[in-house]
């Protein structure tokens, strides 16, 4: 147990609260979410902003602090919630910010208070988790420093924060209609990639090196002026990189500079140096960069698309070696993004991410349960396209699970039929589904308290031949150990299960499954609540690619009324009142 | 009391229910609201549809029937309600379908049941009443025939239903952001006018008579194919015309044919013949048309813009004299819409609308209270543009009034300060406001039970010089008598009040105020509930142009839980439960 955790416990149980004031404090924020005009890539559209900003304000705290966000919904007709991605919400499952799962969406003009402890230092972010509001721009950074007196297991002189996203010119409303339509309409590729909310559309900052591109203005519009990252020579910087893309898998490189990976998803990893890093939606990393290059130049930071045939130009930012002028664009070509379909390279990067020796705890040696989740693309009702897990596409209920499960409301509960822990060995993951028909369902897995659970995510061929996509799966309420990856069908106890890495697997909250491959994770169900586990690609989640883990809900303490003041939970509680209105 | 009303009462109080089955029945509808792609004017956009239709299904009933609509919200993140425009909701104020006023918005995936009696025959419609959802296409017709055994006071051989609207290519989300922005952005004029949900954009069905226009296809796309209205020669048709426009004031004419006005807003009027009729948003009319023209031709139905400088082409439909082919477009030019700013003509039409002799009841001879509402355009916070009533721009609360007032929830209630019944005689209605600053407020007027209330709507100059706009004001929960209109400032008891028409004023639910003019109405506060009274122009309402009448709320019977399961009413009722969640 690290000092920060100890301090937190001490503060929690001691009556000598004065001692704790310095170590852990409550940080209060008053936020209002609203639609506003913004030009992330110099094309004006409507974004969801917070307090008039896009991306939303960065939260900066220390491990052990309590974050208190009074979130007012300033949208006109839409509900809203915010998920604190990577924060485990230990003891506060109602603050996880998932509509239909952990709380009732906040109605227009209402304020909901999120109050939770950031117990672990790391690079996190927050985002909308209702409909596709994340893709509309509802996101921001959440950075947790080590508690006073603690130290990171690496040194650096300064920090640079890079929140990456992608951006569509079509509204999310139109996107959602297309994804829900019969015939189905795919949203296509994003129009631009954004670094800290800024991108370039129909132009390049490095036009000289980009055939056919026109030069973007290097200044001007405050929404989309290039991101300039000032650094001093011969220093080491910690780049905090997180991706909240709707669709795109990304790769980040900095011209001429090596990157040393030291953190993934708020957990330390064994350091390793690379020329570039892959970042899937839902991932966060810290990488160290030393400014040891020619000090007379500035350098490109380049973010490009991997994993899907890119139709979106890389986003560029400028690493500005001071005292060079910021406006002096690098003369060199930006680093090229590796080929989108070089999955061998992607795997090589991902497989290098391991727990940090002496820091990352090892997983339990055995598990109590293994859940195998087959990801398939399917059709429903002839024309709807869905993603399914073990052939059931997830739909979310009107009444959030945390309330309905805790109150035992049968009518609002998931169907009595439990989803399957396995999909059967016969499925041919290399071909389109023999029978593409699917159904919708709850996909609620009930986990025993403190059970050690393995989940094997099994990828497969999509509806079209020779297509299998990348899916980054994100777990709420937990970190998990990534025990291993493999190609083709998982071979179970006889084969792959015996070869999993129990020695130094990394702890993460997001894990990718590669095309036609599998990924095995392990976690301990020690956090009572109801937790989503889903593909972090926004349209994939909208199309049903997820499951729900219901974990010892009877041990959850009293829910805030505001979290259950909708649907069947509200009706039941009001009926309990017995009063006449 | 008409026979239908008598029958209703008989059915209500008798135990011999079998007798009533034929006279009054419950008509059940299962509707689901959802966003969908549609091409109202052949340009594909997203509309809000019902059961996959746009406009929504037409409800047809007989006076005395009970309408039961099980409304499921199939939107992804937005609440929804439906207002039954013109239905007084006697005894069922919670079914009026006004978010923040009569009920909690229905959450996504939830179903709310609207159950109400259509007590009076007439031409009505329904529409969304949350944010600007009406402008997104959430509307349809509601037509109530006379009860069995009753007769209309005029004869006709057939009916034609014409639901008129206007249509913007920008989404309502973008529109709302602009209207709420600082600096303010006006939504501009609609791209097209629609007849029964169909219009022509960037083309004309009568291109030969429209300089510069290209000819629209006369068939093809099922969403936007021309509206064909088949008729037989030498018959009389009742045209039911209603307008649910967002902005446009309309004029309707049928080539070569006279129109005899017989009904306005579900009330009979003294018949009068005209060449064309003005229809403001929120109005409905029945006009009789006799097919007494050359039977070898078809004729244009033309709907054009009045009251604002038009930038939107007229919508055309074809009155198809059978057995002529429907595709044979009229050779003649469509009737020209009268000059937009010929307000003398507009007034002449409106002033001719009077109660039907021997049918329309006269108003009470005196009133108990007069409320004078000055409509001004204002600025707030420097850049926001608002419409204000007696210098307060209406904002709606998170918790609907009907619940919070009935439960006496102080924290959710309107401010203790009551809005003013008068604006003072000194205001110069002919000039921009000397001090354009305004504030926001509740604008809740508490009306004594059974009081006879006069309201004088006073128009004025807007922010720009020499601009005063048309505003059609719609009252919920009531019909009212329109006692008179005038130009300039209302002169009160000394002048105009004494000259009001108490002899044969028409009963209506919507009344226009002309530029720089005033309109006086009277109604009896005999319908306990909370009722909106507002300009029916969607962006004007969004900008605060309305007030609330709270009427004997203590006499409202028990509210359905679903109408109060949000905000402070839900919290209070759940707290009453005292149970732990």
* Domains within chain A, CATH numbers bracketed: 3-145 (2.60.40.420), 158-351 (2.60.40.420), 369-569 (2.60.40.420)
Question: What are B306-344's pLDDT values in tens digits?
Answer: 999 999 999 999 999 999 999 899 999 999 999 999 999
Average pLDDT over residues B247-258: 98
Banded model confidence at residue A577, pLDDT cuts 50, 70, 90: low
| Pairwise CB contact (< 8 Å): B558 & A580 | yes
Helices (H), B91-217: 172-180
| pLDDT on residue B160 | 98
| pLDDT on residue A549 | 98
DSSP assignment of A444-468: EEEE-TT-EEEEEEE----SSTT--
Task: Please tell me if residue B405 touches chain A, with a CB cutoff of 8 Å.
Answer: no
Q: Among A36, A80, A574, whose Cβ lies nearest the Cβ of B561?
A: A574
Task: Please tell me if residue B293 touches chain A, with a CB cutoff of 8 Å.
Answer: no
Task: Please tell me if residue A96 touches chain B, with a CB cutoff of 8 Å.
Answer: no
Say if CB A476 and CB A96 are below 8 A apart. yes
* CA distance linking residue A213 with residue A44, whole number of Å: 20
Average pLDDT over residues A247-257: 98
Nearest CA in chain B to A555: B581
Task: Please tell me if residue B569 touches chain A, with a CB cutoff of 8 Å.
Answer: yes
| pLDDT on residue B141 | 98
* CA distance linking residue A144 with residue A117, whole number of Å: 11
Contacts of A581 in chain B (CB under 8 A): 403, 406-407, 558-559, 561, 564, 569, 573
Question: What are B109-145's pLDDT values in tens digits?
Answer: 999 999 999 999 999 999 999 999 999 999 999 999 9
CA-based nearest distance B32→chain A, Å: 14
Task: Please tell me if residue A494 touches chain B, with a CB cutoff of 8 Å.
Answer: no
Entry field: residues in chain A: 581
Contacts of B78 in chain A (CB under 8 A): 77-79
A 339-398 near B (Cβ less than 8 A):
396-398
Task: Please tell me if residue B108 touches chain A, with a CB cutoff of 8 Å.
Answer: yes
* CA distance linking residue B136 with residue B276, whole number of Å: 28
Q: Among A80, A108, A570, whose Cβ lies nearest the Cβ of B574?
A: A570
Banded model confidence at residue B22, pLDDT cuts 50, 70, 90: low
Task: Please tell me if residue B107 touches chain A, with a CB cutoff of 8 Å.
Answer: yes
Residue B313 Cα distances to B243, B308, B331, B433, angstroms: 17, 13, 19, 33
Please count the residue pairs, one from chain A and one from chain B, whose beta carbons lie less than 8 angstroms apart.
Answer: 158
**Does ipTM top 0.90?**
yes
For the ranges A53-67, A364-378, A406-420, A474-488, the lowest mean pLDDT is seen at A406-420
Task: Please tell me if residue A217 touches chain B, with a CB cutoff of 8 Å.
Answer: no
Task: Please tell me if residue B562 touches chain A, with a CB cutoff of 8 Å.
Answer: yes
Q: Which two tokens stand for residue A325?
A: 């002028």
| pLDDT on residue B219 | 74
Banded model confidence at residue A218, pLDDT cuts 50, 70, 90: confident
| Pairwise CB contact (< 8 Å): A571 & B581 | no
Average pLDDT over residues A100-122: 98
For the ranges A419-433, B93-107, B528-542, the lowest mean pLDDT is seen at A419-433
Q: Among B76, B570, B571, whose Cβ lies nearest the Cβ of A131?
A: B76
Entry field: residues in chain B: 581
Q: How many separate helices (H) and strands (E) can be counted in chain B?
A: 6, 32
Mean of the per-residue pLDDT values of chain B: 94
CA-based nearest distance B394→chain A, Å: 14
Contacts of B581 in chain A (CB under 8 A): 403, 406-407, 558-559, 561, 564, 569, 573
B319: nearest Cα among B267, B396, B253, B387: B253
- What residues form DSSP beta bridges with A166? A193
| pLDDT on residue A236 | 98
Average pLDDT over residues B75-102: 98
Q: Is the dihedral of CA A549, A551, A553, A554 positive or negative?
A: positive
B285: nearest Cα among B457, B122, B433, B410: B122
| pLDDT on residue A7 | 42
CA-based nearest distance A99→chain B, Å: 10
CA-based nearest distance A171→chain B, Å: 9
Question: What are A540-561's pLDDT values in tens digits?
Answer: 999 999 999 999 999 999 999 9
∠ at Cα B566 (B565, B571), nearest 5°?
90
| Pairwise CB contact (< 8 Å): B174 & A46 | yes
B 16-55 near A (Cβ less than 8 A):
34-37, 46
CA-based nearest distance A9→chain B, Å: 26
Average pLDDT over residues B488-511: 92
| Pairwise CB contact (< 8 Å): B398 & A79 | no
* CA distance linking residue B96 with residue B485, whole number of Å: 28
Instruction: Count other C-beta atoms under 10 Å from residue B222's C-beta.
Output: 8
| Pairwise CB contact (< 8 Å): B569 & A581 | yes
What is the 3-state composition of chain A as percent helix, strand, coil, each rounded to the nearest 5? 15, 35, 50
Task: Please tell me if residue B210 touches chain A, with a CB cutoff of 8 Å.
Answer: no
| pLDDT on residue A432 | 96
Contacts of B571 in chain A (CB under 8 A): 561-562, 565
| pLDDT on residue B23 | 67
Contacts of A108 in chain B (CB under 8 A): 79, 105, 398
């Amino acid at each position: 147990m690290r000092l920060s955790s100890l301090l937190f416990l001490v503060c929690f149980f001691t009556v000598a609260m004065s001692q704790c004031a310095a170590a852990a404090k409550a940080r209060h924020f008053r936020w209002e979410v609203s639609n506003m005009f913004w030009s992330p890539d110099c094309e004006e559209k409507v974004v969801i902003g917070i307090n008039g900003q896009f991306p939303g304000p960065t939260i900066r705290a220390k491990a052990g602090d309590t974050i208190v966000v009074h979130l007012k919904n300033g949208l006109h007709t839409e509900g809203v919630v915010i998920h604190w991605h990577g924060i485990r919400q230990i003891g506060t499952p109602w603050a996880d910010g998932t509509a239909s799962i952990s709380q009732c969406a906040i109605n227009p003009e209402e304020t909901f208070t999120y109050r939770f402890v950031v117990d672990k230092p790391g690079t996190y972010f927050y985002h909308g988790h209702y409909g596709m509001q994340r893709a509309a721009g509802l996101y921001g950074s959440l950075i947790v420093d080590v508690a006073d007196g603690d130290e990171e297991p690496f040194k650096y002189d300064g920090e640079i924060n890079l929140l990456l996203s992608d951006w569509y010119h079509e509204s999310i409303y139109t996107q959602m209609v297309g994804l829900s339509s019969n015939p189905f309409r795919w949203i296509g590729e994003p129009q631009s990639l954004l670094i800290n909310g800024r991108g370039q559309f129909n132009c390049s900052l490095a036009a000289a090196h980009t055939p056919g591109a026109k030069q973007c203005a290097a200044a001007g519009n405050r929404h989309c002026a290039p991101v300039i990252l000032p650094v001093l020579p011969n220093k080491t910087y910690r780049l905090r990189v997180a991706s909240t893309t709707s669709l795109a898998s990304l790769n980040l490189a900095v011209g001429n500079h090596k990157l040393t990976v030291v953190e993934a998803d708020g957990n330390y990893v064994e350091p390793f140096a690379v020329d570039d890093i892959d970042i899937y939606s839902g991932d966060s990393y810290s990488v160290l960069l030393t400014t040891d290059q020619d000090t007379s130049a500035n350098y490109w930071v380049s973010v490009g698309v991997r994993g899907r045939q890119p139709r979106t130009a890389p986003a560029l930012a400028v690493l500005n070696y001071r005292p060079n002028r910021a406006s002096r664009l690098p003369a060199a070509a930006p680093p090229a993004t590796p080929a989108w379909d070089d999955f061998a390279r992607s795997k090589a990067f991902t497989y290098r991410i391991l727990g940090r020796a002496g820091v990352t705890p090892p997983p339990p040696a055995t598990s109590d349960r293994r859940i195998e989740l087959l990801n398939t693309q399917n059709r429903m009702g002839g024309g709807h396209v869905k993603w399914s897990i073990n052939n059931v596409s997830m739909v979310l209920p009107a009444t959030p699970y945390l309330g309905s499960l805790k109150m035992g409301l049968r009518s609002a509960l998931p169907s009595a039929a439990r989803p399957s822990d396995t999909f059967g060995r016969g499925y041919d993951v290399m071909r389109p589904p023999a029978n593409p028909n699917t159904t919708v369902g709850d996909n609620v897995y009930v986990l025993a308290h403190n059970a050690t659970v393995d989940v094997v995510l099994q990828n497969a061929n999509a509806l079209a031949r020779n297509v299998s996509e990348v899916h980054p799966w994100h777990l709420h309420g937990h970190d998990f150990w990534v025990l291993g990856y493999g190609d083709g069908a998982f071979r179970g106890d006889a084969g792959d299960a015996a070869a999993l890495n129990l020695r130094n697997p990394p702890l993460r909250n997001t894990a990718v499954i590669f095309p036609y491959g599998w990924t095995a994770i392990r976690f301990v169900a020690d956090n009572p609540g109801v937790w989503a586990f889903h593909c972090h690609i926004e349209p994939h989640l909208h199309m049903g690619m997820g499951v729900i883990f219901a974990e010892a809900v009877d041990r959850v303490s009293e829910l805030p009324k505001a979290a259950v003041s909708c649907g069947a939970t509200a009706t039941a509680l009001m009926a309990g009142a017995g009063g006449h209105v």
